[in-house]
Amino acid sequence: MSEAREPDFEPTILRLLQSEEKLQMAARARDAILAVTDRRLVVADDQRVALDIPYDSVRRVQFDIERARPATLVIVPESPSDEPQILAIPPEEYDRAASALAVIGQRLSEH
């Protein structure tokens, strides 16, 4: 398992994992956690799951960095019934977010 399992991530992520599912990477946005597993992409907070889709249901991912602002991570699902997610990623999470994006990119290239 990666270094993404930190105490502040753990309760939210552990409740989301299915049997034998492996967490590949997680990153904290301002208001949610992005969890990338060996099966799917999940955006959740302590109260709800905002997005839970397999990789073949991801249409587009965009990551924008601007000076003096949190980065913006946009995840657009293929299905209109799944709401696109716009996450504000603080600078201290850029490394984790970049690692998560690498995993997502690899998974998307397989589909």
Residue with tokens 């690899």: 106
| CB crowding 70-95: b at 16 or more within 10 Å, else e | bbebebebeeeebeebebebeeebee
- How many angstroms separate the CA atoms of 9 and 24, rounded? 13
Q: In the structure encoding, which two tokens stand for residue 52, read together?
A: 């839970």
Tokens (6 digits) for 3: 């270094």
State the pTM of this model: 0.86
- The residues spanned by each domain of the chain are 10-110
pLDDT digits (tens, 9 = 90+) for 57-107: 999 999 999 999 999 999 999 999 999 999 999 999 999 999 999 999 999
- Rounded to whole angstroms, how far apart are CA atoms 51 and 58? 11
* Mean pLDDT, residues 34-61 taken together: 94
pLDDT of residue 13: 79
Looking at the chain, the number of H-run helices and the number of E-run strands are 2, 7
CATH 2.30.29.30 fits 10-110, yes or no: yes
